[in-house]
Structure 1
Amino acid sequence: MILQTLSIGQAQEHPYQSGLVQSAIVKHSTPEKLQLTFTGLVGDQQVDRRYHGGPDKAICVYASEHYPFWNARLDRELPVPAFGENFTTQGLLESVVCIGDVYQIGGVRVQVTQPRQPCFKLAMRHGIRDLAVQVTGSGFTGFYFRVLEEGLVQAGEPITLLEKGQITIAEANRVMHVDRQDLAGIERLLQEPALSEAWQKELGKRQ
Protein backbone atom coordinates (compact mmCIF):
# COMPACT_ATOMS: atom_id res chain seq x y z
CA MET A 1 0.00 0.00 0.00
CA ILE A 2 1.44 3.32 -1.10
CA LEU A 3 0.57 7.01 -0.96
CA GLN A 4 1.08 7.70 -4.65
CA THR A 5 0.11 11.36 -4.81
CA LEU A 6 -0.25 14.11 -2.21
CA SER A 7 -2.45 17.04 -3.26
CA ILE A 8 -3.63 20.40 -1.93
CA GLY A 9 -5.70 23.26 -3.27
CA GLN A 10 -6.94 26.78 -2.63
CA ALA A 11 -10.42 28.18 -3.09
CA GLN A 12 -11.32 29.45 -6.54
CA GLU A 13 -14.50 30.77 -8.10
CA HIS A 14 -16.12 28.35 -10.54
CA PRO A 15 -19.04 29.13 -12.84
CA TYR A 16 -21.93 26.83 -12.04
CA GLN A 17 -25.46 27.09 -13.42
CA SER A 18 -26.28 30.81 -13.22
CA GLY A 19 -23.72 31.86 -10.65
CA LEU A 20 -20.27 31.38 -9.14
CA VAL A 21 -19.30 28.80 -6.52
CA GLN A 22 -16.29 28.98 -4.21
CA SER A 23 -14.49 25.63 -4.00
CA ALA A 24 -11.02 24.14 -3.53
CA ILE A 25 -11.91 20.94 -5.39
CA VAL A 26 -9.27 21.70 -8.03
CA LYS A 27 -6.08 20.53 -6.34
CA HIS A 28 -2.49 20.08 -7.48
CA SER A 29 -0.04 17.39 -6.50
CA THR A 30 3.22 18.15 -4.74
CA PRO A 31 6.38 16.09 -4.15
CA GLU A 32 7.16 18.06 -0.99
CA LYS A 33 6.70 16.93 2.59
CA LEU A 34 3.66 18.59 4.11
CA GLN A 35 2.50 18.99 7.69
CA LEU A 36 -0.70 17.11 8.44
CA THR A 37 -2.67 18.51 11.36
CA PHE A 38 -5.84 17.31 13.05
CA THR A 39 -7.89 19.39 10.60
CA GLY A 40 -5.99 18.73 7.37
CA LEU A 41 -2.88 19.42 5.33
CA VAL A 42 -1.14 22.75 5.74
CA GLY A 43 -1.71 24.60 2.46
CA ASP A 44 -5.04 22.90 1.68
CA GLN A 45 -8.17 25.01 1.95
CA GLN A 46 -11.59 23.64 2.87
CA VAL A 47 -14.31 26.11 1.95
CA ASP A 48 -17.59 24.74 3.30
CA ARG A 49 -16.89 23.15 6.68
CA ARG A 50 -20.46 21.87 6.94
CA TYR A 51 -19.67 19.22 4.35
CA HIS A 52 -15.88 19.18 3.92
CA GLY A 53 -13.00 19.07 6.35
CA GLY A 54 -13.02 19.19 10.13
CA PRO A 55 -11.58 16.51 12.41
CA ASP A 56 -13.68 13.63 11.01
CA LYS A 57 -12.92 14.50 7.37
CA ALA A 58 -9.42 15.92 7.56
CA ILE A 59 -8.18 13.99 4.52
CA CYS A 60 -10.06 12.80 1.42
CA VAL A 61 -8.66 9.57 -0.02
CA TYR A 62 -9.18 8.07 -3.48
CA ALA A 63 -7.79 4.90 -5.03
CA SER A 64 -5.62 5.21 -8.13
CA GLU A 65 -7.03 1.85 -9.25
CA HIS A 66 -10.34 3.55 -10.10
CA TYR A 67 -8.93 5.96 -12.66
CA PRO A 68 -8.93 3.49 -15.62
CA PHE A 69 -12.62 2.79 -14.95
CA TRP A 70 -13.51 6.48 -15.08
CA ASN A 71 -11.27 7.20 -18.05
CA ALA A 72 -13.12 4.54 -20.02
CA ARG A 73 -16.59 5.44 -18.76
CA LEU A 74 -16.22 9.18 -19.34
CA ASP A 75 -14.12 8.80 -22.49
CA ARG A 76 -11.47 11.20 -21.26
CA GLU A 77 -8.15 11.09 -19.40
CA LEU A 78 -8.75 12.35 -15.89
CA PRO A 79 -5.82 14.13 -14.23
CA VAL A 80 -4.89 13.10 -10.70
CA PRO A 81 -6.39 14.34 -8.39
CA ALA A 82 -9.56 14.51 -10.48
CA PHE A 83 -11.84 13.73 -7.53
CA GLY A 84 -10.55 16.47 -5.27
CA GLU A 85 -8.71 13.99 -3.10
CA ASN A 86 -5.74 14.82 -0.88
CA PHE A 87 -4.31 11.29 -0.95
CA THR A 88 -4.31 9.22 -4.13
CA THR A 89 -3.41 5.72 -3.01
CA GLN A 90 -2.59 2.25 -4.24
CA GLY A 91 -4.00 -0.72 -2.36
CA LEU A 92 -6.81 0.96 -0.40
CA LEU A 93 -10.03 -0.19 -2.06
CA GLU A 94 -13.53 0.26 -0.68
CA SER A 95 -14.02 -3.52 -0.61
CA VAL A 96 -11.09 -3.91 1.79
CA VAL A 97 -10.77 -0.69 3.80
CA CYS A 98 -12.92 -0.64 6.95
CA ILE A 99 -14.33 2.05 9.19
CA GLY A 100 -11.90 2.26 12.10
CA ASP A 101 -8.82 1.08 10.20
CA VAL A 102 -5.71 2.83 11.51
CA TYR A 103 -2.73 3.42 9.21
CA GLN A 104 0.78 4.78 9.58
CA ILE A 105 1.93 6.97 6.70
CA GLY A 106 5.28 8.66 7.16
CA GLY A 107 5.15 10.51 10.47
CA VAL A 108 1.35 10.44 10.85
CA ARG A 109 -1.31 8.04 12.09
CA VAL A 110 -4.77 8.24 10.53
CA GLN A 111 -8.10 6.46 10.96
CA VAL A 112 -10.93 5.77 8.50
CA THR A 113 -14.17 7.50 9.52
CA GLN A 114 -16.70 7.25 6.65
CA PRO A 115 -17.08 6.93 2.88
CA ARG A 116 -16.83 10.09 0.84
CA GLN A 117 -20.24 11.38 -0.24
CA PRO A 118 -19.64 13.20 -3.54
CA CYS A 119 -21.54 16.44 -4.08
CA PHE A 120 -22.40 18.71 -7.02
CA LYS A 121 -18.88 20.17 -7.01
CA LEU A 122 -17.60 17.07 -8.80
CA ALA A 123 -20.11 17.77 -11.56
CA MET A 124 -19.02 21.39 -11.58
CA ARG A 125 -15.35 20.39 -11.75
CA HIS A 126 -15.77 18.15 -14.80
CA GLY A 127 -18.86 19.53 -16.50
CA ILE A 128 -20.80 16.27 -16.08
CA ARG A 129 -24.16 16.99 -14.49
CA ASP A 130 -24.74 13.58 -12.88
CA LEU A 131 -21.15 12.72 -11.98
CA ALA A 132 -21.80 12.67 -8.22
CA VAL A 133 -24.64 10.20 -8.80
CA GLN A 134 -22.40 8.08 -11.01
CA VAL A 135 -19.65 8.00 -8.39
CA THR A 136 -22.06 6.99 -5.63
CA GLY A 137 -23.64 4.32 -7.82
CA SER A 138 -20.28 2.86 -8.80
CA GLY A 139 -19.25 2.32 -5.20
CA PHE A 140 -15.91 3.93 -6.03
CA THR A 141 -16.49 6.77 -3.59
CA GLY A 142 -13.25 7.01 -1.69
CA PHE A 143 -13.31 7.77 2.03
CA TYR A 144 -12.09 10.09 4.76
CA PHE A 145 -9.35 9.96 7.38
CA ARG A 146 -9.27 11.58 10.78
CA VAL A 147 -5.79 12.33 12.10
CA LEU A 148 -4.71 10.55 15.27
CA GLU A 149 -1.11 11.75 15.27
CA GLU A 150 0.07 14.89 13.49
CA GLY A 151 3.31 14.98 11.53
CA LEU A 152 4.93 15.15 8.11
CA VAL A 153 3.74 13.16 5.11
CA GLN A 154 5.07 12.83 1.56
CA ALA A 155 4.05 11.16 -1.68
CA GLY A 156 5.73 7.80 -2.25
CA GLU A 157 5.63 6.73 1.39
CA PRO A 158 4.31 3.28 2.30
CA ILE A 159 0.98 2.89 4.08
CA THR A 160 1.07 0.43 6.98
CA LEU A 161 -2.04 -1.04 8.59
CA LEU A 162 -1.87 -0.81 12.40
CA GLU A 163 -5.43 -1.70 13.45
CA LYS A 164 -8.26 -3.34 11.50
CA GLY A 165 -11.94 -2.41 11.65
CA GLN A 166 -14.92 -4.65 10.89
CA ILE A 167 -17.21 -2.84 8.43
CA THR A 168 -15.92 -2.11 4.93
CA ILE A 169 -16.45 1.15 3.11
CA ALA A 170 -18.39 -0.84 0.50
CA GLU A 171 -20.76 -2.15 3.20
CA ALA A 172 -21.19 1.32 4.67
CA ASN A 173 -22.08 2.65 1.21
CA ARG A 174 -24.63 -0.14 0.78
CA VAL A 175 -26.39 0.73 4.02
CA MET A 176 -26.32 4.48 3.42
CA HIS A 177 -27.29 4.58 -0.25
CA VAL A 178 -28.86 1.26 -1.35
CA ASP A 179 -30.56 -0.68 1.46
CA ARG A 180 -31.53 2.43 3.37
CA GLN A 181 -33.92 0.66 5.73
CA ASP A 182 -31.58 -2.18 6.68
CA LEU A 183 -32.00 -1.69 10.42
CA ALA A 184 -29.51 -4.40 11.33
CA GLY A 185 -26.90 -2.84 9.04
CA ILE A 186 -27.61 0.59 10.48
CA GLU A 187 -27.19 -0.73 14.01
CA ARG A 188 -23.87 -2.38 13.15
CA LEU A 189 -22.56 0.88 11.76
CA LEU A 190 -23.76 2.86 14.76
CA GLN A 191 -21.93 0.43 17.06
CA GLU A 192 -18.62 1.34 15.34
CA PRO A 193 -16.97 3.95 17.60
CA ALA A 194 -14.77 5.32 14.79
CA LEU A 195 -17.78 6.26 12.62
CA SER A 196 -17.94 10.01 11.92
CA GLU A 197 -20.36 12.19 13.85
CA ALA A 198 -22.12 13.18 10.61
CA TRP A 199 -22.89 9.57 9.72
CA GLN A 200 -23.95 8.79 13.27
CA LYS A 201 -26.53 11.59 13.09
CA GLU A 202 -27.77 10.64 9.61
CA LEU A 203 -28.12 6.92 10.35
CA GLY A 204 -29.61 7.61 13.76
CA LYS A 205 -32.57 9.30 12.06
CA ARG A 206 -33.45 6.01 10.33
CA GLN A 207 -33.80 3.90 13.43
Structure 2
Amino acid sequence: MERGIITLNIGRPNLHRWNGMTVNSAIRKKRVEEVMLTMEGFIGDGVANREFHGGPDRAVCLYPYEHYEQWEKEFNKPLESPAFGENICVKNMLEKDVYIGDTFSLGKAIVQVTQGRIPCATISKHNDMDQLLRRVVETGFTGYFFRVIEEGNVDINSSFEIIERKQEKFSVLTGNQLMFHDRKNRQAIEEFIQFEELAEVWKNKFAKLLNK
Protein backbone atom coordinates (compact mmCIF):
# COMPACT_ATOMS: atom_id res chain seq x y z
CA MET A 1 0.00 0.00 0.00
CA GLU A 2 1.50 3.31 -1.10
CA ARG A 3 1.76 5.93 1.66
CA GLY A 4 3.09 8.75 -0.47
CA ILE A 5 3.27 12.37 0.61
CA ILE A 6 0.69 14.73 -0.90
CA THR A 7 2.20 17.88 0.61
CA LEU A 8 5.29 18.57 2.74
CA ASN A 9 4.92 21.78 4.76
CA ILE A 10 6.84 23.99 7.18
CA GLY A 11 6.28 27.41 8.72
CA ARG A 12 7.14 29.68 11.62
CA PRO A 13 4.60 31.32 13.95
CA ASN A 14 3.10 34.56 12.69
CA LEU A 15 0.44 36.97 13.86
CA HIS A 16 -2.99 36.41 12.28
CA ARG A 17 -6.10 38.55 12.45
CA TRP A 18 -9.27 36.48 12.97
CA ASN A 19 -12.66 37.84 14.00
CA GLY A 20 -11.12 41.05 15.25
CA MET A 21 -8.52 39.23 17.36
CA THR A 22 -4.77 38.94 16.82
CA VAL A 23 -3.48 35.38 17.31
CA ASN A 24 0.06 34.03 17.13
CA SER A 25 0.02 30.73 15.23
CA ALA A 26 2.14 28.59 12.91
CA ILE A 27 -0.90 27.04 11.21
CA ARG A 28 -0.25 28.85 7.91
CA LYS A 29 2.56 26.64 6.63
CA LYS A 30 4.08 26.68 3.14
CA ARG A 31 4.77 23.76 0.86
CA VAL A 32 8.37 22.70 0.29
CA GLU A 33 10.01 20.10 -1.91
CA GLU A 34 12.69 18.92 0.54
CA VAL A 35 13.62 19.58 4.15
CA MET A 36 15.81 18.15 6.92
CA LEU A 37 14.02 16.41 9.79
CA THR A 38 15.69 16.62 13.22
CA MET A 39 14.70 15.32 16.66
CA GLU A 40 12.93 18.63 17.32
CA GLY A 41 11.14 18.76 13.97
CA PHE A 42 11.70 20.03 10.46
CA ILE A 43 14.30 22.73 9.95
CA GLY A 44 12.43 25.98 9.35
CA ASP A 45 9.30 24.83 11.16
CA GLY A 46 8.02 26.12 14.48
CA VAL A 47 5.11 26.23 16.92
CA ALA A 48 3.38 29.00 18.83
CA ASN A 49 1.42 27.07 21.47
CA ARG A 50 3.74 24.54 23.11
CA GLU A 51 0.92 23.13 25.22
CA PHE A 52 -0.48 21.34 22.17
CA HIS A 53 2.42 21.30 19.68
CA GLY A 54 6.15 20.86 19.53
CA GLY A 55 8.78 19.04 21.53
CA PRO A 56 10.43 15.69 20.78
CA ASP A 57 7.21 13.66 21.16
CA ARG A 58 5.42 15.96 18.69
CA ALA A 59 8.14 16.69 16.18
CA VAL A 60 6.03 15.93 13.10
CA CYS A 61 2.32 16.52 12.54
CA LEU A 62 0.47 14.44 9.95
CA TYR A 63 -3.05 14.87 8.61
CA PRO A 64 -4.71 12.19 6.44
CA TYR A 65 -5.59 13.33 2.94
CA GLU A 66 -8.88 11.42 2.88
CA HIS A 67 -10.44 13.70 5.50
CA TYR A 68 -10.24 16.69 3.18
CA GLU A 69 -12.96 15.24 0.97
CA GLN A 70 -15.26 14.67 3.95
CA TRP A 71 -14.86 18.19 5.30
CA GLU A 72 -15.31 19.75 1.86
CA LYS A 73 -18.59 17.89 1.40
CA GLU A 74 -19.80 18.57 4.91
CA PHE A 75 -19.03 22.28 4.91
CA ASN A 76 -19.50 22.82 1.17
CA LYS A 77 -16.19 24.61 0.92
CA PRO A 78 -12.89 23.73 -0.79
CA LEU A 79 -9.88 23.01 1.39
CA GLU A 80 -6.28 22.76 0.36
CA SER A 81 -3.45 21.17 2.32
CA PRO A 82 -2.02 22.27 4.73
CA ALA A 83 -5.38 23.61 5.94
CA PHE A 84 -4.79 21.94 9.31
CA GLY A 85 -1.27 23.22 9.77
CA GLU A 86 0.14 19.76 9.19
CA ASN A 87 3.74 19.11 8.22
CA ILE A 88 2.70 16.16 6.10
CA CYS A 89 -0.51 15.29 4.28
CA VAL A 90 -0.57 11.68 3.11
CA LYS A 91 -2.90 8.99 1.77
CA ASN A 92 -3.58 5.60 3.34
CA MET A 93 -2.66 6.53 6.91
CA LEU A 94 -6.01 7.07 8.61
CA GLU A 95 -6.18 7.26 12.40
CA LYS A 96 -8.00 3.92 12.55
CA ASP A 97 -5.21 2.16 10.64
CA VAL A 98 -2.18 3.57 12.46
CA TYR A 99 -1.21 2.46 15.96
CA ILE A 100 0.63 4.11 18.83
CA GLY A 101 4.25 2.99 18.56
CA ASP A 102 4.17 2.30 14.82
CA THR A 103 7.63 2.99 13.44
CA PHE A 104 8.17 4.09 9.84
CA SER A 105 11.01 5.06 7.58
CA LEU A 106 10.34 8.39 5.90
CA GLY A 107 12.94 9.40 3.36
CA LYS A 108 16.25 9.17 5.20
CA ALA A 109 14.55 9.56 8.60
CA ILE A 110 12.83 7.14 10.96
CA VAL A 111 9.73 8.27 12.87
CA GLN A 112 7.36 6.78 15.46
CA VAL A 113 3.68 7.51 16.21
CA THR A 114 3.24 8.97 19.70
CA GLN A 115 -0.26 10.48 20.10
CA GLY A 116 -3.30 11.88 18.39
CA ARG A 117 -3.49 15.60 17.93
CA ILE A 118 -5.52 17.66 20.39
CA PRO A 119 -6.91 20.33 18.07
CA CYS A 120 -7.68 23.87 19.10
CA ALA A 121 -10.00 26.58 17.80
CA THR A 122 -7.29 27.83 15.45
CA ILE A 123 -8.30 25.26 12.82
CA SER A 124 -11.83 26.68 12.76
CA LYS A 125 -10.60 30.26 12.59
CA HIS A 126 -7.98 29.55 9.93
CA ASN A 127 -10.52 27.83 7.66
CA ASP A 128 -13.46 30.11 8.53
CA MET A 129 -15.54 27.09 9.59
CA ASP A 130 -17.03 27.68 13.04
CA GLN A 131 -18.04 24.05 13.58
CA LEU A 132 -14.89 22.42 12.22
CA LEU A 133 -13.19 21.99 15.60
CA ARG A 134 -16.31 20.39 17.07
CA ARG A 135 -16.60 17.95 14.18
CA VAL A 136 -12.90 17.05 14.25
CA VAL A 137 -13.19 16.17 17.95
CA GLU A 138 -16.46 14.26 17.45
CA THR A 139 -15.04 12.11 14.66
CA GLY A 140 -11.54 11.74 16.06
CA PHE A 141 -10.19 12.79 12.65
CA THR A 142 -7.52 14.90 14.30
CA GLY A 143 -4.32 13.78 12.65
CA TYR A 144 -1.43 12.73 14.86
CA PHE A 145 2.18 13.25 15.90
CA PHE A 146 5.51 11.46 15.56
CA ARG A 147 8.78 11.51 17.43
CA VAL A 148 11.97 11.25 15.38
CA ILE A 149 14.04 8.12 16.01
CA GLU A 150 16.64 8.91 13.37
CA GLU A 151 17.22 12.27 11.71
CA GLY A 152 17.36 12.59 7.94
CA ASN A 153 16.29 14.37 4.80
CA VAL A 154 12.66 14.11 3.64
CA ASP A 155 11.40 15.15 0.21
CA ILE A 156 8.08 15.29 -1.58
CA ASN A 157 8.71 11.89 -3.17
CA SER A 158 9.30 10.19 0.18
CA SER A 159 6.80 7.66 1.48
CA PHE A 160 6.07 6.01 4.82
CA GLU A 161 7.35 2.43 5.01
CA ILE A 162 6.39 0.45 8.10
CA ILE A 163 9.37 -0.88 10.05
CA GLU A 164 7.73 -2.14 13.23
CA ARG A 165 4.25 -2.43 14.77
CA LYS A 166 4.44 -3.05 18.50
CA GLN A 167 0.72 -3.56 19.18
CA GLU A 168 -2.64 -3.65 17.40
CA LYS A 169 -5.05 -2.76 20.20
CA PHE A 170 -4.69 1.01 20.48
CA SER A 171 -4.89 2.82 17.17
CA VAL A 172 -4.64 6.59 17.05
CA LEU A 173 -8.43 6.66 16.69
CA THR A 174 -8.88 4.43 19.76
CA GLY A 175 -6.62 6.75 21.74
CA ASN A 176 -8.62 9.75 20.55
CA GLN A 177 -11.81 8.02 21.67
CA LEU A 178 -10.38 7.64 25.17
CA MET A 179 -9.11 11.21 25.26
CA PHE A 180 -12.27 12.92 24.02
CA HIS A 181 -15.23 10.62 24.66
CA ASP A 182 -14.46 7.71 27.00
CA ARG A 183 -12.57 9.24 29.89
CA LYS A 184 -14.28 7.04 32.50
CA ASN A 185 -12.97 3.83 30.96
CA ARG A 186 -10.38 3.26 33.68
CA GLN A 187 -9.42 -0.24 32.55
CA ALA A 188 -8.61 0.84 28.99
CA ILE A 189 -6.80 3.98 30.16
CA GLU A 190 -4.69 2.04 32.65
CA GLU A 191 -3.63 -0.33 29.85
CA PHE A 192 -3.10 2.49 27.36
CA ILE A 193 -0.67 4.46 29.51
CA GLN A 194 1.54 1.40 29.98
CA PHE A 195 2.78 1.74 26.40
CA GLU A 196 6.28 3.13 26.53
CA GLU A 197 5.85 4.72 23.10
CA LEU A 198 2.86 6.86 24.11
CA ALA A 199 3.77 10.56 24.39
CA GLU A 200 4.59 11.66 27.93
CA VAL A 201 2.05 14.49 27.85
CA TRP A 202 -0.74 11.99 27.15
CA LYS A 203 0.47 9.65 29.89
CA ASN A 204 0.35 12.59 32.30
CA LYS A 205 -3.11 13.72 31.17
CA PHE A 206 -4.56 10.25 31.60
CA ALA A 207 -2.78 9.71 34.93
CA LYS A 208 -4.46 12.86 36.25
CA LEU A 209 -7.84 11.51 35.13
CA LEU A 210 -7.21 8.25 36.98
CA ASN A 211 -6.26 10.13 40.14
CA LYS A 212 -9.45 12.20 40.24
List aligned pairs for 1:29-178, cutoff 5 A. Answer: 29-31=31-33, 33-166=34-167, 167-178=170-181
Other-structure match for 1:25:
27
Counting aligned pairs with the same residue, the percent is 37
TM-score scaled by structure 1?
0.95
Counterparts of 1:71 and 1:134 in 2: how far apart (Å)? Answer: 13
Answer yes or no: is 1:192 the counterpart of 2:195: yes
Contact 2:35 2:155 in 1 (8 A): yes
1:19 CA displacement: 2.6
Letter of the structure 2 residue corresponding to residue 60 of structure 1? C
Letter of the structure 2 residue corresponding to residue 205 of structure 1? K
1:106 CA displacement: 0.7
SS, match of residue 69 in structure 2: helix
Matched residue pairs, number? 206
Counterparts of 1:62 and 1:168 in 2: how far apart (Å)? Answer: 15
Contact 2:8 2:155 in 1 (8 A): yes
TM-score scaled by structure 2?
0.93
Contact 2:75 2:129 in 1 (8 A): no
Contact 1:114 1:195 in 2 (8 A): yes
Counterparts of 1:24 and 1:170 in 2: how far apart (Å)? Answer: 25
Q: Which runs of 5+ in 1 are unaligned?
A: none
Moved over 4 A (4+): none
Letter of the structure 1 residue corresponding to residue 52 of structure 2? Y
Q: CA RMSD in A?
A: 1.2
1:195 CA displacement: 0.6
Q: Which runs of 5+ in 2 are unaligned?
A: none
